[in-house]
Chains A and B, each alone.
Chain A
Amino acid sequence: MRVTADRDRCVGSGQCAMLSPDVFDQDDDGLVLVLREEPAEDLREEVHRAADLCPARSLHVHG
């Protein structure tokens, strides 16, 4: 599983950082930061949940 984020689309809702704090964070501007581009398999469900709940659809989970 690989995670990418489109920071140009990000609206800083922080949903990802709250739902999956090991994988996502927000920088000083409040925009998404991917902490782990290839998160462990046991995080799959929460990563998908974070991507689904992102209001700006800026998160993508590949594989």
Chain B
Amino acid sequence: MNPASPFVTDSVRKAAMTQSADAVPETGAPLPRFPMRRTCPFSEPREYAEMRADRPVSRAELKVNDKPTWLVTRHEHVRQVLGDSRVSSNLKLPGYPHQFHIPEEMLAQVRLMMLNMDPPEHSAQRRMLIPEFTARRVKELRPRIQQIVDEHIDAMLAAGGPADLVTALALPVPSLVICELLGVPYEDHARFEEWSAAMMNHDLSPAEYGAAVQALDLYLDKLVTLKENEPGDDLISRFLEKNRTERVADHADVVTMARLMLVGGHETTANMIALGVLALLRHPEQLAALRADPALLPNAVEELLRVFSISDSGTARVATADIEVGDVTIRAGEGILALNNAANHDESVFPDPGTLDIHRKEARSHLAFGYGIHQCIGANLARVELEAVYGTLLRRVPGLRLAAPVEELRFKDDAMVYGVYELPVTW
């Protein structure tokens, strides 16, 4: 329990104690189990469309611990929930819909990452980081990002096809970008890529998960200490410098912040690079349009983010008061998953939502980066990276094509962040 959160009211505690009885549906029918599998690699789970139509805010049971949660599926409702100050992101609250098993005793020791903090702690830490990711700052990073992309494509072309696009481009580009931003020596990237991939895996045992977090934290602990003594021109050093006057974080908080930036900064973008390229290769007419007119790139990026919504259930919340969503009252203490993959396929906002259309004018209304105060702080950086990779790849590798049948690709159906493990390509 986090006693510091002003959002933990008595009603939350009371509701948490009575919640199991409260959560049994009147009909006695078995609850749908979450997560649900995507129907095919390029679509949302079949159940989402049914839920949006018939029971847009409905109960489900979490596969990991059989506990109940609410699933919110319509665009309007997902925005409402994520914009509501009466929902908490604190994973230590009873009722929080966990998606992998964390033993109670481990949960008690967890240092909250920014995405699990509520105001005012969240606002204080976020404000320290906002200047790093403004539209202007990200624009300044663009030439260096382009250079990184070009170097990796050079190497890929020099080595010759076929190549695995994930290891050749999708992982190393965002990894190098975030390493440079944070001031992490790139020589260490293979190690933290392994740890962060492990931390995203649903199937990991608590011991394995704990070991991955610990190994990464140990590494970052040393790095933060180094920067405390010898500041550099990087995000961690600037955070430490500001923290001397703001005092929002202790050493362990800075380590946790660095872990969030590092893991959030490359795993997600890497998955979107590979999936986006795959999707474009499956739509040659749209790929040709994009190649002919690079001005279409920004909207194509938004559309690809929408279609895949790779962090579908990254938006877990707990109600801290009774809130009305649609026809339903979500009680204080109950868990909520505001599913952005479901919202991003809402027919009322995105006509013919299952179809990839890089010209779609409402594409940017997607919620793939979340919504509300926790919306992805690196969204603009991710956009620039995706534009640079897709655009450069189309321009410089005109013959790019898949080197394996789609049926043979392995997709990350078991991970917190969706993606494809390997993407064999040739040219």
CA–CA, A11 and B380, complex, Å: 13
Within B85-135, the residues touching A (CB, 8 Å) are 126-127, 130-135
**Contact call B380/A18, Cβ cutoff below 8 A:** yes
**Contact call A13/B375, Cβ cutoff below 8 A:** yes
Collect the chain B residues with CB atoms within 8 Å of residue A40's CB. none
Query: Is A41 an interface position by the 8 A CB rule?
Result: no
Total A-B pairs, Cβ < 8 A? 55
Q: Which listed residue, B132, B138, B364, B372, touches A53 by the CB 8 Å rule? A: B364
Collect the chain B residues with CB atoms within 8 Å of residue A18's CB. 135, 380
**Contact call A53/B365, Cβ cutoff below 8 A:** yes
**Contact call A30/B134, Cβ cutoff below 8 A:** yes
Q: How large is the interface on B (under 10, 10 to 19, 20 to 34, 35 or more residues)?
A: 20 to 34
Q: Give chain B's interface secondary structure class.
A: helix
**Residues A11 and B133 in contact in the complex (CB < 8 Å), given A53-B364, A55-B371, A56-B372:** no
Within B327-375, the residues touching A (CB, 8 Å) are 364-365, 370-373, 375
**Contact call A26/B136, Cβ cutoff below 8 A:** yes
**Contact call B133/A30, Cβ cutoff below 8 A:** yes
Query: Is A28 an interface position by the 8 A CB rule?
Result: yes
CA–CA, A14 and B381, complex, Å: 11
Collect the chain B residues with CB atoms within 8 Å of residue A14's CB. 133-135, 138, 380
Query: Is B394 an interface position by the 8 A CB rule?
Result: no
**Residues A56 and B380 in contact in the complex (CB < 8 Å), given A12-B126, A14-B133, A30-B133:** no
Query: Is B420 an interface position by the 8 A CB rule?
Result: no
Query: Is B231 an interface position by the 8 A CB rule?
Result: no
**Residues A30 and B130 in contact in the complex (CB < 8 Å), given A14-B135, A14-B380:** yes
**Contact call B134/A26, Cβ cutoff below 8 A:** yes
Collect the chain B residues with CB atoms within 8 Å of residue A31's CB. 130
CB-defined interface of A17-58 with B at 8 Å, one 1/0 digit per residue? 111010000101111000000000000000001001101110
CA–CA, A58 and B411, complex, Å: 38
Q: List 24 interface pairs A-B (beta carbons < 8 Å), by A numbering.
A: A11-B130, A11-B373, A11-B375, A12-B126, A12-B130, A12-B134, A13-B380, A14-B133, A14-B134, A14-B135, A14-B138, A17-B134, A18-B380, A19-B364, A26-B135, A30-B130, A30-B134, A31-B130, A49-B364, A53-B365, A55-B82, A55-B371, A55-B373, A57-B83
Instruction: List 7 other contacts, CB 8 Å, given A12-B126, A12-B133, A55-B372.
Output: A12-B134, A14-B134, A14-B135, A17-B135, A26-B136, A30-B130, A31-B130
Counting from the closest, the 10 A-B pairs by CB-CB distance are A12-B130, A30-B130, A55-B375, A14-B135, A17-B135, A30-B131, A26-B134, A30-B134, A18-B135, A55-B371
User: What residues make up the interface of B, taking CB atoms closer than 8 Å to A?
Assistant: 82-83, 126-127, 130-136, 138, 364-365, 370-373, 375, 377, 379-380
